[in-house]
Structure formats: C-alpha cells, structure tokens
Amino acid sequence: MRSPSKNQLRLFFISGLTLLTYLALYHARSLDDDRLTRWGWCFHGRVAASVFVGIAIGVVVSYFLAAAPIRIRHRPAVLFVLAFIASSFFWPEPEVIVDASRYFTQAKHFELYGIRYFIEEWGREIEVWTDMPLVPFLYGIIFRVIGEVRVYVQMFTSALFASTILLTYLAGKELWDEEVGFYGGLFLLGMPYLYTQVPLMLVDVPSAFFLMLAVYLVIRALKQGGATVLFAGFAIFLAFFSKYSTWLMLSVIGVIAAVYMTEEPTKNSGRREMFYRIGYIVLCAVVPIVVVFLYKFGVFSEQMHLLIAYQKPGLKRWGESFLSTFLFQIHPFVTALALFSVYAAARKKDRKYIIIVWLVALIVLLQIKRIRYSIMVFPMLSLAASYGLCAIKEAGVRRGIAACAVTSSFAVALLAYLPFLQTVSAVNIKEAGTFLNETKEPNVEVFTLTSAGTPVNPAVSVPLLDMFTDKHIVYDYRNALSPADRAAIAASSLRFTLEYRNPPYYLCGIQPENDFSAAVISERVSDPLPPEVRENLTGFRLVKSFGTSERIFRYQTSVRVYKKIEGGK
C-alpha cells in the first residue's frame, strides 16, 4: 500500500484543523458578543451537530478540490456567479435591522413622486437621519422602474456583493497577480456574517461595492491614464455619497497615490505624468462633491453635528469586540492568513501592501468595533489573507485552505445564522405581509401600540410591513412616546425611531369603506388594545396572529390581522 504523499498529509492536516477550529469556537461561543448573530444565540439544540456535519461535508469536497490539479478558467465569472448564488440562499431572511425602514421610506418617496421631488425634498420632507442619498436613490429607481418588490432589491444587493468580490479580484490582480486577486475575492465568501447582510435593504454592502470600485479604478487610472481618470473621479464621488463611514475609508485613495508616486514613475510614465493623473482624479471627484454638498449644505451640516454629538460617542456603547469579529464572524483562517501577510510583505519590503493593510489598521487603531461599520474594510482584509496564502508554495495546500474556509463559513451561515434569524420577532412582519397579500381587501389600516419603556418607536415597523405586502397601507401616526420613553432611549442606537414622521402616502383615505382589513403592531400579541383602537376595530374580528419571539432582543414585534365581519359597520 502506497503511503500518503507530503501534499496529502498537509491536506489531511488542514481538514482536521478545520473541524477542530469549529469545535474550539463552538465551545468558546460565550466569548462572542456580536449583536446580531452571536454564536451563543445561534447554536442550540441540534444546530451545532448539523453545522458540524455541513462543515465535514465541505471538508471532504475541499480535499478533492485541492487534490485535483484543476485550473479554473474564467475566474472572474466563476467568482461572480458563485457569490450571487451563495447569497441568494439568504433571501428568505426577514428585515432584522430596523434601519431598513428609513431606506425603504426614502426609496418609496422616489417611486411615488419622482427624481425631482427626491432631490429637492431629501433632508426636508424626506427624513434622512444620518443617511447619505446614493443608495436610497438607487433603491428608488428599482421601485419606480421594476416594481416595489423586495426580491428585486435583494437581486440588486446580491449583484453588488458579487461585483465587490469581482472588484477585489481585479484589484489584487492589478496590484500583484491573478492568484492573489482570485483568493482575495474568494475569501470574502469565508466571512459568514457577510451572508446575513446581503439580503437586507441597508447601505453597508452597497457602500463596500462603491469603495472598492473607487479603489480599483484609481489604481487603473494611475497605471494607464486616459478616460479611466474620469471614471475614477466619478467612482470616488459615488463612494463619498454612499455612507458617511466611507469618508474615512476614502483615505486609502491618498495611500494609493503615495505608493504609486514612489513605485510607478520609474516603470511607467514618469513622476510628472503620475502627478497630473492624481490631480485630474482629485479634480473629477471634488468638483461634483462640492456642488452637491453646497446644494444640501444645511442638511449635511445637521447630519455631521448629529454624528459628532451622538453617534461618535455611541460607538463605544454599541460595539462588538474584535475577538467576535475576527474569530467568530470571519473565519479564523482568513484572520490568521491576514496576520501572516504582514510578515510576508515586510520580508519582501512590498510597498503596495500598505494599500490593503491601511484600512484594516485604521479599524484597529481607531477602535471601530461595530462590525457593520467594518464591512467596507472586509475586501482589503480578504486581499491581505490572500497575500499571506500566496506565500505558501504548494498550490494544492492553497486551494485546500481557501476551500475549507469558504465551505465551513457557508455552512455556519446557512445552517446556524439563517435558521436563527428566521425565528426572531422581525419575521412576524414578513409573515404578516405575506398573509395580507393573500387577502382580497386592497387596503390595510395599521395601528401601532407603544409599551412603557419600549426601546423603539413601533411606528418604524409600518414601512417594513409595507415592504412585504402589495396592499395599500393607511396609517394615521400619532407620536405616543412619553418624555420618560424619550429620556430612556436618548443614547440608544435606535434613537432615530423617535424622529419618525408619517409619510404623506400613508394618510390617503380608504375608499370605499368596506374594502380594507386592519393590522395591529405591538410588542406582544397579548398586549391589550387601547380604547381608541378597539373603537376603530368595531365590526372586525381577529383572523391571524403572528407572535414568534426569540426572547433575546429588547425590541419585539408582533402583528395581529383583523378582517371585517360580514355585515359589520
């Protein structure tokens, strides 16, 4: 019997290490303090065993992928399709983060009133909190052109996620070679937390795309010049108005410029030509940024005041530990390889490595411990891990490590995170919307109940219900939060719910009188109805209650649906 080769022994070791890594994380799950997919919440009952089986299957598949001398052709297409399909498995996830209510509302204003209204009223009639306009603007185009259907938005965000992976590949290829780019793109699929964010109507995943678009196009523009300079400037403009966090992250553009000023002139077109290219990129970015900023200066200045006075100090209260982010929510193989890459780059004295490590260093040095604010940095972390991986000479070992990281991360996300998120109370909004779609009444009148000490204004759940139903919603919002409630959540990350203003499209009357059902949103289905709500529901009967609760998060959402009694008034 032939003894195993050194390469096979290495692959056996990697396979065993993958399983041991999962078991170690599972037994240390109490150390995870993530605010959405904490391992202590997600792994219970038979979940741990099913995930272990899923990872074991992935390890077997990874072994054969690594052992077979396969050269993947059309790598960009493979990465894009793989990412899109993988993220589509998570589309059934409910909208588990209430911030989606804001983006849906802003997009619906665009859908109903058009682009001119959106531009003029953004920050005035359209409540914007600390949001930037680009991503809600794009969501609004989808609503207006294709339709107000959540899956269309999810297809769009999955395409942006897949495109981010593609851009990571292209950036790695431009900086070094195709191998670094390929594994850099692939390692983004080795971050289980990312899968949970792609289906949500938020701005984090789109912002990561626009940042990477700017990074890649700036690199291309500095290397080849021409029309790419204009595209690079426009990409910076888009990233600037995607999310306030990108302002800090765009500092990487300066790093890229500095590196290429010292690296490329002797290889390419000279220091003066490089200087001109940098100047043109800055000009193409700054001019439209200044125009938009001056046009909405009042809105932006108010937002920046809120960011400094409220959100910046709030990060210390709302964050998660780096241990949670880099060991539980990102596969440890990715983190370990990224750390190793520092040594590999230092040994080579590779100045270009500064480009990819810059943003990761900022996150660590500035102690930005909110994982959602770190998503934009994940492509750079992925490239750093790829750089470390490519320092390993054996191609089979590289394939094995990457495949094990990706398959085990997908197993954790699909078999633990997704089932957990489908049991949180946010699923009641999704299921109520689906149920309402099956009723014959075209209109739904919504009532919200406020409990004492509630951390969230339940009015923000109305747009989320609207997202899941094609019925016309009527909602006469009256702010019922007491001064005590306001004081209790003044420093809460959900403070924006206090500033909810009822959009005008919810105030349209119901015509005729007998063509509507009713829905009551409250913390618990057992919450008593106030006298004014009972009066409005005279002649109605309760037909369905949605009261799923994970009993973990402070804010719970339940929905009761009522229909008119035949012959009732």
DSSP 534-558: HHHTTTEEEEEEE----S-SS---E
Of 314-318, 439-443, 459-463, which range is least confident? 314-318
Cα angle, residue 492 at apex, residues 490 and 493 outer, rounded to 5°: 130
Give the mean model confidence (pLDDT) for residues 488-495: 70
- Pinpoint the alpha helices (H) of 146-270: 150-175, 178-187, 192-197, 204-224, 228-240, 245-249, 251-263
Predicted confidence at residue 566, as pLDDT, reads 74
Instruction: Give the separation between CA 224 and CA 273, rounded to whole angstroms.
Output: 10
Helix then strand count (H, E) for the chain reads 27, 5
Give the mean model confidence (pLDDT) for residues 400-410: 97
Confidence of residue 35 (pLDDT cuts 50, 70, 90): very high
Of 35-49, 191-205, 222-236, 508-522, which range is least confident? 508-522
Torsion 363-367-373-375 (CA) sign: positive
- Position with higher pLDDT, 500 vs 133: 133
pLDDT at 328 exceeding the cut of 80: yes
Give the mean model confidence (pLDDT) for residues 426-446: 95
The string of pLDDT tens digits covering residues 134-188 is 999 999 999 999 999 999 999 999 999 999 999 999 999 999 999 999 999 999 9
Instruction: Give the separation between CA 169 and CA 166, rounded to whole angstroms.
Output: 5
Of 24-38, 117-131, 250-264, 420-434, which range is least confident? 250-264
**What mean pLDDT is reported for the chain?**
92
Q: How many CB atoms lie within 10 A of CB 276?
A: 14
Confidence of residue 117 (pLDDT cuts 50, 70, 90): very high
Instruction: Give the separation between CA 432 and CA 418, rounded to whole angstroms.
Output: 19
Predicted confidence at residue 137, as pLDDT, reads 98
pLDDT at 268 exceeding the cut of 60: no
The string of pLDDT tens digits covering residues 273-305 is 889 999 999 999 999 999 999 999 999 999 999
Most trustworthy range by pLDDT among 298-312, 507-521, 543-557? 543-557
Give the mean model confidence (pLDDT) for residues 457-466: 95
Give the mean model confidence (pLDDT) for residues 446-464: 87
Backbone angles phi, psi at 78, to 5 degrees: -65, -45
Instruction: Give the separation between CA 126 and CA 365, rounded to whole angstroms.
Output: 36
Give the mean model confidence (pLDDT) for residues 329-334: 98
Confidence of residue 488 (pLDDT cuts 50, 70, 90): low
Of 25-29, 230-234, 475-479, which range is least confident? 475-479
- Position with higher pLDDT, 64 vs 89: 89
pLDDT at 254 exceeding the cut of 90: yes
Helix (H, G, I), strand (E, B) or coil at 32: coil
pLDDT at 270 exceeding the cut of 70: yes
pTM, rounded to two decimals = 0.95
Confidence of residue 545 (pLDDT cuts 50, 70, 90): very high
Predicted confidence at residue 210, as pLDDT, reads 98
